[in-house]
Amino acid sequence: MKSANAASRCVVVTGLGAICALGATVAETWAATRDGKSGITEHLFDPGPNGPPPHTTPAALVEGDVVGMLESALGRRVGASLDPFSMFALKCSHEALDAAGLLGSGSLGGAAVVLGHGFAGIHTLEQSYERFYGQKLARVHPLTVPRVMVSAPASAVAMEFGIRGPVFAVSSACASSGHAIAQGAALIGAGGTEIAIVGGSEAIATAACLRAWEGLQAMSPTTCRPFSQGRDGMVIGEGGGAMVLESLDHATARGAKIIAELSGVGLSSDAFHWTQPSLEGAVSAMSAALDQAKARDARRILISTHGTGTPLNDKNEAAAIHSVFGGRAKDHPIIATKSAHGHLIGAASVVQGVIGLMALADGSAPPILNWLGPDPECDLDLVLGEARAIDAEALLLNAFAFGGLNTCLVFRRWA
């Protein structure tokens, strides 16, 4: 069947936003990543008088007064209605729309918002349940539901910027914002909208939630060392990322500065295991994205790996890259920025996408941190030590979530 014109519309990126442990803007985040700075430090998590004793664990948390930053960006009070995961989403969406030249443009009425989150308003949920179960108070805070619901950030962005098109949240654990980007692109491709604000956010660094992650035996007690010998797990991060996607026609007509083309989307499910990845699932998503982008034979592709630093993920991802690229696997520089900003779960894919697009534009690949030495099962062209000059023509952005949900996206540098 011949594809309709609308379904093959070219989708481009015209704005980026980010907030994470490395900075509250794209510029700060990119500079820190490129310069090899780490946002991972030890933090004390105190569950309060009704919980077990406080404990210390590494995490990559957003520094500074988020409410103040948001109020100064929006030029208004933020108020009591937002959980931190909504604040992160608002902050980076504002930055992306501003960068795209769309704030106050009057052209957002029919736009879409698709945001991904692995969890929801965990800070609010934990506080409310602590009152209920811990302090045994029967009444729960009246704003608990709107603060906790997984679609709250999407609603907050729509209300803030007057966006009245398709607005919703998607969830697929660590691939959530990858699916959000894919879904936003699909809406534009199908002709449902010209502009989509896509991305995701996560704020799950609470005393009880971190204990839940530790229970999975996937957390490092030290730090995140992707593809390294002796790697022992992931480190939780927090924050959010946003991209403005537009149809090429719309972006060109308004004279927007185009950052990249989203040229390939590969989505797959392992249908296999809760926490173990499968080679087939990763290979299938990467292959689909590269084939759609016609990039399989590209001379140089910057690969932003899922690279969590767990023994299983990194070994499986390295094998998948070898399987997809064969003898040319080591032609492509490998980055793994979770070693700097931690694992942002639902927001990981988009924040890594923002960093990857900055790397592509800057011609500079940021280093993988905390590497101790080679692991023969991760034999790839790792970018180590310091940033490396690259001449990549495309970015491959991998996300492989618990539960076996995979998104691979290919972005082409815009000439």
Partner 1 sequence: MATLDDELLDLIAQEALIDRAKLSREATLADIGLDSVDVVSVVFAVEEKYSIEIPEDAFKETANLGQFLDILESLIEKQKS
Pair of tokens at residue 216: 């999975």
Strands 364-365 and 239-247: unpaired
Residue of 94, 341, 343, 408 with catalytic role: 343
CB of 45 to partner 1, least distance (A): 21
* Residue with token string 């957003």: 62
- Tell me whether residue 70 or residue 345 sits nearer to partner 1 (CB atom): 70
Among 174, 209, 224, 408, the active-site one is 174
CB of 49 to partner 1, least distance (A): 17
Q: Which residue, among 395, 344, 374, has the nearest Cα to 174 in the 3D structure?
A: 344
Amino acid at 153: P
Q: What is the DSSP letter of 184?
A: H
**Could you tell me the smallest distance in angstroms from the CB atom of residue 79 to partner 1?**
5
| Paired sense of beta strands 167-170 and 41-45, if any | unpaired
Using CA atoms, how far apart are residues 308 and 323, in angstroms rounded to an integer? 20
Clarify whether 322 is annotated catalytic. no
Is 174 an annotated catalytic residue?
A: yes
Whether residue 325 contacts residue 298, with contact meaning beta carbons closer than 8 Å, is answered with no
The question of whether 306 is a catalytic residue gets the answer: yes
CA atoms of 258 and 216, how far apart (whole Å)? 41
DSSP SS3 for 216: coil
User: Which residues contact partner 1 by CB under 8 A?
Assistant: 67, 76-81, 137, 139, 141-143
**Which residue lies nearer to partner 1 by CB, 2 or 136?**
136
137 vs 190 by CB, closer to partner 1: 137
Q: Rounded to the nearest whole angstrom, what is the least distance from the CB of residue 90 to partner 1 in the complex?
A: 13
Minimum Å distance from CB 137 to partner 1? 7
Instruction: Please count the other Cβ atoms lying within 10 Å of the Cβ belonging to residue 249.
Output: 12
Catalytic residue selected from 306, 332, 341, 378? 306
Nearer to partner 1, 100 or 156 (CB): 156
- Judged by beta carbon, residue 131 or residue 328, the one nearer partner 1 is 131
Active centre residues (catalytic): 174, 306, 343
